[in-house]
Amino acid sequence: MKPVQDAAPAPTADPAVGAGIATLTERMTRGDEDAYREFHGVWFLRLFRYILVLMRGDEHAARDVAQETLLRVVRRIRSFDSEEVFWDWLTCLARSAAADHGRKSTRYRRFLDWFSNEPEPMLSEPAPDTLETALASALAQLPESDQTLLRAKYSDRRPVREIAQQSGLTEEAVESRLSRARAALRRMTLKLLRHESGT
């Protein structure tokens, strides 16, 4: 595989082009829709190729990251005098979006694996954002003590022995509380997912 920077090299410096990028980005900062269309037409394919290499050829993931990168462009756009600097900024946004996507995918996969090991598995795999939203809403409905316990075990990845020592409970008691909390969280999450899908 070629290095990432080789996937979509920055444009060569050109004073006329530099003036063009300054005008384009200035118009973008003012919310000019035509400017954003021009930006998309000139830069999107180059940016997507860069992201596709970042995502190791996973086109579906690359499209998700590209969409998030474009949203970050809209939120953070400022004026640039150089195409090279502008490209560096775009690739920085892309790398940040790719890293966030990787973290979200890891959390999503962990929860999905956990759910698949429980009785009555989900009939279909929900979208990552849908599952994360349902999980967060369901978790917020649990007692604070159960929330703390689940975060310690599944977010912080702390062993049951450590949780038991710090809480003053036996390991058996911690396992029992975790089992009840997981069951409650799963019931609430599935209820929210079914409501979301209209089933």
Task: Work out how many domains the chain is built from and give that number.
Answer: 2
Does 23 lie in the same domain as 64?
yes
Q: What is the pLDDT of residues 69-89, one digit of tens each?
A: 999 999 999 999 999 999 999
Looking at residue 129, its pLDDT comes to 65
Looking at residue 111, its pLDDT comes to 62
CATH of the domain at 69: 1.10.1740.10
Q: How open is the CA angle 51-131-93, to the nearest 5 degrees?
A: 25
DSSP 63-86: HHHHHHHHHHHHHH----S-HHHH
Looking at residue 14, its pLDDT comes to 40
Instruction: Please choose, from the candidates 157, 177, 155, the residue with its C-alpha nearest in 3D space to the C-alpha of residue 167.
Output: 177
In a domain, 50, yes or no: yes
According to DSSP, residue 3 is labeled -
In a domain, 112, yes or no: no
In a domain, 135, yes or no: yes
Q: Which domain holds residue 59?
A: 4-104
CA–CA dist 103, 145 (Å, integer) = 26
Does 22 lie in the same domain as 100?
yes
In a domain, 110, yes or no: no
Looking at residue 37, its pLDDT comes to 95
Looking at residue 118, its pLDDT comes to 53
Cα–Cα distance list, 145 to 86, 92, 108, 150 (Å):
48, 40, 23, 9
Task: Compute CA 116 distance to the chain's CA centroid, rounded to the nearest angstrom.
Answer: 22
User: Which residues of the chain have a pLDDT value below 70?
Assistant: 1-19, 105-129, 196-199
Q: For the packed helices 83-116 and 59-76, what is the interaxial angle rounded to 10 degrees?
A: 130
Structure tokens at 120: 């009555």
The residue among 104, 128, 149 that closes a domain is: 104
Looking at residue 5, its pLDDT comes to 42
